[in-house]
Each structure stands twice: as C-alpha cells, then as structure tokens.
Amino acid sequence: MSTEFFEKLNLLNTQEVPFAVATVIRITGSVSAKPGAKSILDSEGNTLYGWVGGGCAEEAVRDAAMDSLKDGQTRIVPLDLDDEVLGVGMPCGGTMDVYVEPYLPRPELHLIGHGRIAEVLAELAHLMHFMVTVNDPAAVRERFPKADRLINSDPDFKQLEVGPNTFVVVVTQHKGDQHSIKKALEGNGPYIGLVASTKRSKLVFQYLLDEGVAKSELKRVHSPAGLDFGGTTPEEIALSIIAEMVSIRRGGTGSTMMEIKQVNPDAV
C-alpha cells in the first residue's frame, strides 16, 4: 500500500478533522477497481486520496461516506454495476462491495472549574479518549496532568467554543455558573452538565429564565449532572458524569445491560 495513504491518514488525524476511508472488499465481473483499492473522503464527500471505481461507484460511495460521518457507523455498500435502473446509474459491468469506515475527531470535554470532582473527571475523560480543556483560574498542571489545555484567564468564557463534538461540564459551584451555562447554550454541543444540588440547579435555571433563555433550551442542561449511581464521593460523582457523557455519545439508554439483554436465570 502506498506510503502516501498513511501519510494522508496521519495528517488528517493530526488535524482532528472528520474523514472516511472507502475500501473495495469484493468484485465480480469487469470492474475497474481491484480488491484493496482505497479512497479517503472528507465530510463534504470530496475525494482527498485514491480511487475505488470512477463514475459508476463514485456517487454511491460518496453518499455512504457522508452518512457514515453523520452516524459514526461503518457500512458495506453493495454496488450493482450492471443494472442501470436498480444499480448505481449506468451499466459498467459486474458488482462490487465497498467497506466504508468513518474517522471522527476525538470529542472534547470543556471542563469549567477545579477541585477533586473536576480532577477525576478530567482523568476519566482522558481515558475515554476525550480532548480535555480545563477552564478555571485555579487550574494547575499538577492537578490536571492529562488535560490537553489549561485556560486560566477567561472571565467572559470567550474561549468556550462549543461545536457539535464539544461536551461541557460546569463544576465551579459559585455565582458565575449561569454565565458559563448561558455561553455553552449558544453552541450545539451534545451535552451540558451542571454539578450542583437540586436547589442550586433551580436557582441557576431561574436566573437564566429571567435572562431570557428559553425553557426549551434549559432542557439541554443536565443538572444535577450524572447517572444515578447512588454515589457520594467526588470519585463516584465524576464516574457517574462520565458514564452519562459516554451514554449520550454512543446512543446508550443508561439502563443496565441485564435489563437490555433480558437475561433471566429462570429462563436458562
């Protein structure tokens, strides 16, 4: 395989941008591409490297790559190159299966605050392959050795840039929490968590409502953050929060596996 392919993969991974790799895994008949042929496509469907069959297959593979980048799932695309009606649009001859694999940037955890919960949460997020940014004046490297970035001076949260892959957890528990939550709500991230008691959560929500934030927007905020583990220590609270984040990222239910798989000893 060409070293150019691996160089391109390495460059894209370094840039933390989404892309998909399409690989021909089976052919029959007079198909121009051979098994093992690869291409790399960006999130807009543009081919950045390689070739898997030209005009007959290009559009179908492009659509599959873009779908994979949206849902994060691999897929095998069967292409009938003989059938101009039921196939991919023109009779090129033969059939071909293409395996499409998405490569998505690591999700980012933007953690606002310090203290033991924040420290453990940053460590767990690193283990879950999140890029970790800690935004707090008191954050020091000794307390957050695995963080990718520390922000110590951002009073207006201008560096809190929330994209579709940005998870936000606020653990400061002081009178400025509503400002960071409001800033996070300006983005389209999948998760905003507020570590607070029920009483404090209601106070923060009421402040935001008074500031004109829609109630529908406040429903995006998970507070108190985390799944119900019954935990009380900072470590247990951090574990419940990262579990909730992973569940949302992966489309989980938060239920036990025993409930989902319906394993019943009486049925054995």
What are 175-197's pLDDT values in tens digits? 678 889 999 999 999 999 999 88
Number of H helices, E strands in the chain: 8, 11
Domain boundary among 74, 103, 132: 103
Domain annotation covers residue 262: no
Give the side-chain half-sphere CA count within 13 A for 69: 23
| Rg (the chain; Cα; Å) | 23
Domain check: are 192 and 234 in the same one?
A: yes
Last residue of a domain, one of 73, 103, 133: 103
Domain assignment of residue 39, given as a range = 3-103
Q: What's the confidence (pLDDT) of residue 267? A: 58
The one-letter code for the residue type at 9 is L
Decide: 209 and 182 in contact? Cβ < 8 Å: no
Same structural domain, 90 and 207: no
Does residue 123 sit in the same domain as residue 208?
Answer: yes
Residue 37 lies in a domain: yes
Of 205, 142, 137, 206, the closest CA to residue 172 belongs to 137
Domain assignment of residue 29, yes or no: yes
pLDDT value for 164: 85
The pLDDT assigned to 80 comes to 84
> Would 257 be classed as within a structural domain?
no
CA distance 158 to 7: 35
The identity of residue 135, as a single letter, is N
Q: Answer yes or no: do 99 and 121 share one domain.
A: no
Both tokens of residue 166?
């940005």
Query: For residue 145, is the peptide bond before it cis, meaning its omega torsion is within 30 degrees of 0?
Result: no
Q: Hunting for tokens 């579709």 — which residue is that?
A: 164
CA distance 236 to 240: 6
> What pLDDT, on the 0 to 100 scale, is given for residue 89?
46
Q: Which amino acid is at 7?
A: E
Q: For residue range 136-156, list pLDDT tens digits in order.
A: 999 999 999 999 999 999 888
| Same domain? 88 vs 113 | no
Q: Is residue 130 part of a domain?
A: yes
> Are residues 114 and 99 part of one domain?
no
Same domain, yes or no, for 121 and 229? Answer: yes
Is there a domain that residue 184 lies in? yes
What angle separates helix 177-185 from helix 198-210, to the nearest 10 degrees? 60
In a domain, 39, yes or no: yes
Residue pair 172/113 in contact (Cβ under 8 Å)? The answer is yes
Q: Are 29 and 82 in contact (CB under 8 A)?
A: yes
Claim to verify: residue 190 and residue 83 sit in the same structural domain: no
What SS3 class is residue 41? strand
In a domain, 225, yes or no: yes
**What's the pLDDT at 159?**
87
Domain total for the chain?
2
Question: Do 96 and 113 reside in the same domain of the chain?
Answer: no
Domain limit, last residue, from 75, 103, 131:
103
pLDDT score for 86: 39
CA atoms within 13 A on the CB side of 262: 1
Please tell me whether residues 96 and 118 are part of one structural domain: no
At residue 149, the pLDDT reads 94
Residues 152 and 85 in one domain: no
Q: Which residues of the chain have pLDDT under 50?
A: 85-90
Same domain, 210 and 242: yes
- Stated pTM of the model: 0.76
For residue 100, the cross-strand partners are: 22, 75
Rounded-to-integer distance, Cα 92 and Cα 85, Å: 12
CATH number at 208 reads: 3.40.50.720
- Residue 74's Cβ-side half-sphere holds a number of Cα atoms within 13 Å equal to 9
Q: Which helix (H) or strand (E) holds 255?
A: none
Q: How far is CA 214 from the centre of its chain?
A: 26
